[in-house]
Structure 1
Amino acid sequence: MSSSNKNDGSQKPVDRIARGVKKTNWLGTATFFSARVTDPFLQYGILAKGYGNSLIELLHGSVLPQGPGLITNTPIDALGLSPYRSIVLGMAIGSSIKQNIHLTTIMQEEITPATGAAVGAFNTLFNSLNSLFFVCAQTSASVNGEHFPQTPLIVGSSLYAVGITLELLSEVQRAVFKKDPKNKGKVYEGGLFGLSRHINYFGYTMWRTGYALACGGWIWGATVAALFTFDFTQRAIPLLQSYLEERYAEKYSHYEQAVPYKFIPLLW
């Protein structure tokens, strides 16, 4: 278990990952998987069906009129979304797929039903805030009738694509290394983890920032970037580092010396 569970007289941040408990909890896995699968349907409801319109109006906002529908001559057109809204929905779908790939093929630690529900709800909350900020005219990143493309969408979708690829690829590289019996007890120092000791956290922060920017504009994007940077650097990374130092000792110290950057490659 992580060092957060030690009783040393001081209150430690909560680590929801059962470090070192490598087993499958089918109910917990199903809870998280289901939460992530259903999320895109909720986001579609907000973007296309007006699920959040009453809330926006209750808060004295106005609803952004939908732009012209996407025309691809494929079944996608039946969604009735503008090109901008189609990309926003695609970000929700992409995040769901990525996280369930990690859950079912990469993650080894146990995920309990409570953790599955909490983490699933957390991701749905942020996705829903993005969708609501987009459809609210006062907060939307779209400023000219959803004409395509717009700068927040270009920058945001680029950050999203790079970040989610960075997160997934780094985790796949490490998983392949760990599954080789010859590497048992070794610290993975290669691939993208040779650029930053927590490159996957950086990738997650990038795509979360891009998703928020594309929906709610520059201020919301910067806010999300700051929130996740703070959480990872002040809570998640110290917790994980304590666990890794305890488990791997000198081997992890060598990794820290070889890769001095804990979060942002070549910077921090």
Structure 2
Amino acid sequence: MADSKPRGSSEPYKSKNPKYVDLISRGVRGPSPAGTLTFIGLRTLDIPLQYALLGRGLGASLLMKLGLTPISAQPAFRTGFTAIDSLGLPLPQLIMLLMTVGGAMRHYYWIGFLSNEKFAVKSALAMTVYTSLMNVIGSILITSAATSSINSTWRIPRIDLPASIVIGFAGFLLGTLFETGSDHQRKVFKDKPENQGKVCTVGFWKYARHINYGGYVLWRSAYVLAATGWIGALATAAVHGSDLGTRGVATMDEYMSFRYGEQWRQYKAKVTYKLFPGVY
């Protein structure tokens, strides 16, 4: 079935709905060197920033200036790998930094291999600043004695780690799988000539119409879970889930209806869940 509208043009899709918000130039294909370099550069700079907050005293210094108490000093975790051990981070902070690096790698893969549409510098700035801000909040929360999940009494035996950190890390990996895995499946599907002009209905897309958004909500909430525990994670899930489940879904639904017409309506009738299979 062919697209109900052309696949691409010189102008992005423009909605008449004032609530339509999309950082991607939907329908406009082509390279975006300035936006891509801005995005990659700022996402890369986030890694040393989070490292400074977690392990170089910046987070503790900021807390003390605010009159708050940082967590007690902990011994560095040793892995036997010089590159990792040289960071001098305790295991909880090392896990947080690994999630920061993993998030950056996910974005590198998305902008370098999965995204085909124009990506403006202002969009790159908005996405990277917001991501770094959320990561900073996580790094501060795990560094503060009042909010850190490190102080949790519910711990995993033998490894002596708070359950919130272990479960948070697992949730981060699972959410990343859903978000990046679904985007990868869609690209593989779309790259096949016989699938041009078709809605992707394979893989994760068989179970929820915006499974990539669901994956984002999961890993973002899991990151906060690892930093500060269940209350922060539930609050994060509520805020991001509400935003993407309403504004985000409505924005994409409008564009997909414009592009695919009846094909998209049939897909919605068949796949009733929006973000999470069996839940919402």
With structure 1 as the length reference, what TM-score do the two structures score?
0.94
CA distance in 2, matches of 1:38, 1:159: 25
1:46–1:132 Cα contact (<8 Å) kept: yes
Deviates more, 1:241-250 or 1:11-20: 11-20
Look up the match of 2:5: none
Find the aligned partners of 1:265 and 1:155 in 2 and give their Cα distance. 20
Match of residue 3 from structure 2: none
Q: Tell me what 2:178 maps to.
A: 166
- 1:221 maps to which of 210, 233, 253: 233
Going from structure 1 to structure 2, the CA distance change for 1:144 and 1:19 (only over 3 Å counts) comes to closer
- How far apart are residue 128 of structure 1 and its match? 0.8
Q: 1:152-195 deviations in whole A, cap 9, x for unaligned? A: 11221111111111111111110001111211111111110001
- Select the residue among 6, 10, 15 that pairs with 1:6: 15
Matched residue, 1:81: 89
Instruction: Tell me, yes or no, if the aligned pair for 1:212 and 1:220 is still in contact at 8 Å.
Output: yes
Offset at residue 217 of structure 1 (A): 1.5
1:260 aligns with 2:268: no
**In structure 2, the residue corresponding to 1:225 is in which secondary structure?**
helix
Cα distance in 1 for partners of 2:72, 2:33 equals: 43
Question: In 2, distance between residues paired with 1:72 and 1:54?
Answer: 27
Letter in 2 for 1:41: P
Aligned pairs for 1:123-138 (under 5 A) are 123-138=131-146
1:106 lines up with 2:118 in the alignment:
no
- In structure 2, list runs of 5 or more residues that go unmatched: 1-11
The answer to whether residue 132 in structure 2 is matched with residue 148 in structure 1 is no
Q: Distance in 2 between matches of 1:250 and 1:82?
A: 54
List, as ranges, runs of 4+ consecutive aligned residues in structure 1 with deviation greater than 2 Å.
52-55, 144-148
Distance in 1 (CA, whole Å) between partners of 2:265 and 2:177 is 28
TM-score normalised by structure 2 residue count = 0.90
Partner in structure 1 of residue 36 of structure 2: 29
How many residue pairs align between the two structures? 264
Structure 2 residue 210 is the aligned partner of structure 1 residue 198: yes
Distance in 2, Cα, partners of 1:84 & 1:173 = 32
- Is residue 102 of structure 2 the alignment partner of residue 94 of structure 1? yes
In structure 1, the residue matched to 2:245 is: 233
Percentage identity across aligned positions?
32
Distance in 2 of aligned mates of 1:150 and 1:247:
47
- The offset of 1:248, in angstroms, is 0.4
Check the 8 A contact 1:83/1:148 in 2, yes or no: no
